[in-house]
Structure 1
Amino acid sequence: MYQDVLVPTDGSDGTRQSITHGLTIAEQFGGTVHALSVVPEGPLGTLQSDAAIDVADRAVTRVETEAVRAGVPVQTTVETGVPHEEIIAYADEYDIDMIVMGTQGRTGLDRVLVGSVTERIVRMADVPVVTVRLSEDVRIEDADEAERIAREALAADEGLEPDDPVLIDAPHRTSASWIVPLELDAADVHVHVDALTGDARIARRNE
């Protein structure tokens, strides 16, 4: 029934639960999740930049990581344009059966814009649209705190010998999860720290 589920994402906290919902629906019906991130370009000016594209890439990669972990087929795409127009066009082109998206984006202007995009999609889409509201507060908002939790998780893992892990790159947060890349003697790892709960999961780079 729902063989192709579209999850638009901007990498913000408001998309975290929509990703979970989209994966659950796709898994239940044996479908594919389509992760789409749109770099905005429209009446408010061109917002495209290397940084914005990097955020969009990270956003769809986050969905891909979660989908692979859940055993759900996934397709990722980054587009540039007016967000609601690109989402509708993608849904039409790929015969999407359902759209699952958050009602909130980042704070301030982004929060207003994402809410506006969702409202337009609900009015314009020819397929069912499931809207998911972010109901939990982000607890881990500081990169240093995320790094501290990541290092504690490594120290507690008996299968690793962390010694003195070296930070490869600055921790970054997408969909309410911090990703902390660290270099060990044996292998490089990414520690995923849930910004809502503080839980940490260690992923070796070849996972």
Structure 2
Amino acid sequence: MYQNVLVPTDGSDGTRQSITHGLTIADRFGATIHALSVVPEGPLGTLQNDAATPAAHRAVERIEAEATRDGVEAVTAVEQGVPHEEILAYADDHDVDMIVMGTQGRTGLDRVLVGSVTERVVRMADVPVVTVRLTDEIRITDAAEAERIARKTLAAEADAVRADEPTVLEDPHRTSASWIVPFETDGLTVHVHVDALSGDARIARCAE
């Protein structure tokens, strides 16, 4: 029934539930999940800055990592333009069967942007649009706490990484209610994902 499920993400808290819902649908139907992030231009151009594009890439990489963990095929894309227009164009160009979106962000600004984009997509899309409301509360709000949990996870997974004291490569950053903490230990680069809602952590990627 569904072969391509599109989950737009801006990395805000409001997209977390839609990501989980989209992955569940893709897994249920053996579909490919498409993670799309749009760096705003046009009417939203005042929001664009040097950090916007890297943040967009991190947002879609987060979905790709979760999809890989769940055995779901994933495709990622970062586009630049007016968000609802880019979402609709992507859906048309990639034979998307369903779009799954959050209805609002947690902050006042996220609430306005995510809500307005979703409303436009719902009105204009030619395929079903599933809207998912944010309900969970963020518990891990501090980068230092996320790093502490990540280090504890590394210590507990001695078989996954070598036992040298890990060095944080850059400050932890949070997208879609999940902290990403990059470490280097004995020649390996290790990314630990810490769920900001539950505090659960897992080693997401290791590379030489």
Would the TM-score normalized by the shorter structure come out above 0.5? yes
Contact 2:190–2:203 at 8 Å: present in 1 too? Answer: yes
Q: Who is 2:203 aligned against? A: 202
Kept in 1, the 8 Å contact 2:179–2:196? The answer is: yes
Residue 174 of structure 1: aligned partner: 175
Secondary structure of the residue that 2:37 maps to in structure 1? strand
CA–CA distance in structure 2, aligned partners of residues 5 and 38 of structure 1: 17
Q: Matched residues, percent identical?
A: 74
* 1:10 and 1:105 in contact (8 A); partners too: no
C-alpha displacement at 1:4, in angstroms? Answer: 0.8
C-alpha deviation, 1:21, in angstroms: 1.0
- Where do 1:52-91 residues align within 5 Å? 52-91=52-91
Q: Distance in 1 between matches of 2:47 and 2:104?
A: 19
Work out the CA distance in 2 between the residues paired with 1:106 and 1:135. 9
Q: 5+ residue gaps in structure 1?
A: none
Maintained 8 Å contact 2:188/2:207: no
CA contact (8 A) 1:187 1:204 kept: no
Secondary structure, aligned partner of 2:27: helix
Assess if the C-alpha contact under 8 Å between 2:37 and 2:57 holds in 1.
Answer: yes
The answer to whether the 8 Å contact 2:32/2:75 transfers is: yes
- Where do 1:1-207 residues align within 5 Å? 1-159=1-159, 160=161, 162-185=163-186, 187-206=188-207
Distance 2:205 2:85 in 1: 38
SS in 2 for 1:191: strand
Please identify, of 155-164 and 193-202, the stretch whose mean Cα deviation from structure 2 is larger. Answer: 155-164
Q: Deviations over 1:64-102 (max 9, x none)?
A: 111111111111111111111111111112121100011
Deviation at 1:158, TM superposition (A): 4.0
Over the aligned positions, Cα root-mean-square deviation in angstroms equals 1.7
**Cα pair distance change 1:106/1:52, threshold 3 Å:** farther
> Matches of 1:158 and 1:59 in 2, distance apart?
28
Classify the secondary structure of the residue corresponding to 1:6. Answer: strand
Contact 2:138 2:177 in 1 (8 A): yes
Q: How many residues align?
A: 207
TM-score, length-normalised on structure 1? 0.93
Task: Give the drift of 1:45.
Answer: 3.3
One-letter code aligned to 2:181: V
Deviations 1:51-73 (A, max 9, x none): 10011111111111111111111
Matched residue SS, 1:121:
helix
Aligned mates of 1:90, 1:161 — CA distance in 2: 42
Give 5+ residue unaligned stretches, structure 2: none
Deviates more, 1:104-113 or 1:114-123: 104-113
String of CA shifts for 1:100-119, please: whole Å, max 9, x gaps.
Answer: 01112251212211111111
Q: In structure 2, what residue type is equivalent to 1:162?
A: A
Question: 2:105–2:134: 8 Å Cα contact kept in structure 1?
Answer: no
